[in-house]
Structure 1
């Protein structure tokens, strides 16, 4: 999800930033400032009224994160010898349209805030982090988890950021052996006297053979716990399952994925997705995807979403993009086209488009 991260650990700017938040960069450490700034103009032919669920008319406006989230972060390593390293990562979401927080749990470092160790044994991390389930979805999404017209608005629309940004979490990822890598995570709720409140766990298996990848993961989460008090609650009660595959033929990548979001007292969303991405030239990429969502509790609730996009890279760090999408909702299904500003849709057909600019550093 990131491009070229430029290490600036020796610069005055980074030293000042680290000093302002109480972090010291030692000579034997390597600290990197990285991020993405993404802004776009979004149009949708229908807009959902949050109070009534009815169509509130067309909309057009500036949004943050049309193609991907806007964020900045700090990550670092310290070589401890014998192949062992200490690692950390802090990451904050940014709303480019107004300078506030976005695409996180609403806290300052609401995307990632963890410390860990890595070596020949694998990697252990403790703190706020992505779940193995989320990382599997990221790997197999047909449109590379674009924030417009992909599996992202479907997932966030069902469970908000539960399963993505997991507080109180400890995880282990194994080394890759014969193409196979596994990972597991346990997030403890943090409520005295109630070990089940906010408890979340997830597991993942990833297999790579040449240009072929297959990825499967599960997630189980309970409501409550200390993470329920974050500005964007991250302990919605749900269980998730996913399996997906990808194959790269030189400039062409083809992906297919199935995901299930079973929410207590709500939808049992079963999502079937597929699509492709093609590098027309080193600077131009086009992609397309289709997602069919059905409610296992009521077959009358279903939707189909299709989207396509083109990205033109002005440099390794800066690109322009344009995307077109369509969604058709039936029954009570409310699939939206965009994670930001169009997360939920209305009954019937909605068309949308966005154009924007994305810069990574």
Structure 2
């Protein structure tokens, strides 16, 4: 009798604990047809046309992820996120620079004081640009491709990240990577974001040891059916004093289920390539539902012309 009561008590306690935890499977399926150009050292251009998945002219990379959160009580929560990328062309893994879980592999703890995260994750500068960029940082984003997500790329491994709570639209995040986890050069990255009502603005700053400091300042104003955005970018090739500096200016119009975006960048200085470029993206999207849309885009990038049309489904 006692054993039965103990078993029931344990089962009841386990059920209560499970009720406070949740695990979610999610993902993106994105594929299309694209024509892309590359330029070799001699200035010769090569064009390729075919199915595209996890490519420059896709809106985003296809992915499969799992995330979970547990309520520890008193407002404290713990969670995790694992995410892998894949190509719909052949099912191959598209890891975004890491291992199998190359898109995300982290654990976090959060409370009233904010959130502390450890592992591979998107950089604070990425989230800063995402606050105002007009294409939702699509693979063909003119800003991201021109200035490489504030000079450091989208993700980092071995990162410790602290994010503040949101104070009426104002928040900040800071990431740090120890030198022994980054080839002997420590790295830090931070953002300050204000997003409230029609206004979104963000500053992103990062620096790797033995390299110059990168920064991006951008903002967006949403009029309802129309939005405008602008930014100023100053980045360096890692480990060098070669600078790429410039600005962006663009607009997006929402016409029911259809949206069209034009976003342009212009170099004011470009030591990396030795010449200044005007880049830009023209994007059209048509929503089939809240989770599915068709897109078409043209990207002018460093004298190359790239086209694509595709279908994206979020689940």
TM-score bracket, normalised by the shorter chain, equals: 0.7 to 0.9
In the alignment, which residue of structure 1 is the partner of 2:244? 269
For residues 235-279 of structure 1, the C-alpha deviation after alignment (integer angstroms, 9 at most, x for no partner) is xx5632011111111121211112222123363111311212221
In the alignment, which residue of structure 2 is the partner of 1:123? 115
Is residue 75–residue 89 contact of structure 1 (8 Å, CA) maintained in 2? yes
In the alignment, which residue of structure 1 is the partner of 2:228? 254
Cα 1:299–1:42 shift into 2, 3 Å: closer
Q: Aligned equivalents of 1:206 and 1:157: distance in 2? A: 15
Of 288, 305, 313 in structure 2, the residue corresponding to residue 351 of structure 1 is 305
Cα 1:85–1:286 shift into 2, 3 Å: same
Is residue 269–residue 295 contact of structure 1 (8 Å, CA) maintained in 2? yes
The question of 1:184 aligning with 2:174 is answered: yes
Richer in strand (by share): 2
SS at match of 1:47: strand
Q: Which stretches in structure 1 are left out of the alignment for 5+ residues? A: 1-24, 224-236, 328-334, 336-348
Q: Aligned equivalents of 2:150 and 2:114: distance in 1? A: 32
Q: Aligned equivalents of 1:100 and 1:294: distance in 2? A: 40
Cα 1:119–1:321 shift into 2, 3 Å: same
Tell me which structure has the larger Cα radius of gyration.
Answer: 2
Q: How does the TM-score come out when normalised to structure 2?
A: 0.85
Q: Aligned equivalents of 1:287 and 1:219: distance in 2? A: 28
Give 1:30 deviation, angstroms.
0.7
Q: How does the TM-score come out when normalised to structure 1?
A: 0.75
Moved more, 84-93 or 292-301: 292-301
Is residue 77–residue 86 contact of structure 1 (8 Å, CA) maintained in 2? yes
In the alignment, which residue of structure 1 is the partner of 2:195? 208
Note the 1:35-54 alignment, pairs <5 A: 35-44=27-36, 46-49=37-40, 52-54=41-43
Give 1:172 deviation, angstroms.
0.9
The question of 1:322 aligning with 2:296 is answered: yes
SS at match of 1:203: strand
Q: Aligned equivalents of 1:110 and 1:104: distance in 2? A: 6
Q: What's the Cα RMSD here?
A: 2.5
Give 1:53 deviation, angstroms.
4.6
In the alignment, which residue of structure 2 is the partner of 1:360? 314
In the alignment, which residue of structure 1 is the partner of 2:4? none
Give 1:56 deviation, angstroms.
3.8
Of 50, 53, 59 in structure 2, the residue corresponding to residue 64 of structure 1 is 53
Q: Aligned equivalents of 1:313 and 1:200: distance in 2? A: 40
SS at match of 2:146: helix
In the alignment, which residue of structure 2 is the partner of 1:74? 66
Q: Aligned equivalents of 1:351 and 1:307: distance in 2? A: 10
Is residue 142–residue 274 contact of structure 1 (8 Å, CA) maintained in 2? no
Give 1:305 deviation, angstroms.
1.0
In the alignment, which residue of structure 1 is the partner of 2:96? 104
The question of 1:306 aligning with 2:292 is answered: no
Give 1:216 deviation, angstroms.
0.5
Give 1:169 deviation, angstroms.
1.1
Q: Aligned equivalents of 1:304 and 1:103: distance in 2? A: 30
Give 1:26 deviation, angstroms.
4.2
Is residue 143–residue 275 contact of structure 1 (8 Å, CA) maintained in 2? no
Q: Which stretches in structure 2 are left out of the alignment for 5+ residues? A: 1-16
SS at match of 2:125: helix
Is residue 189–residue 205 contact of structure 2 (8 Å, CA) maintained in 1? yes
Give 1:47 deviation, angstroms.
3.0
For residues 159-190 of structure 1, the C-alpha deviation after alignment (integer angstroms, 9 at most, x for no partner) is 5xx44221111111111224321211111233
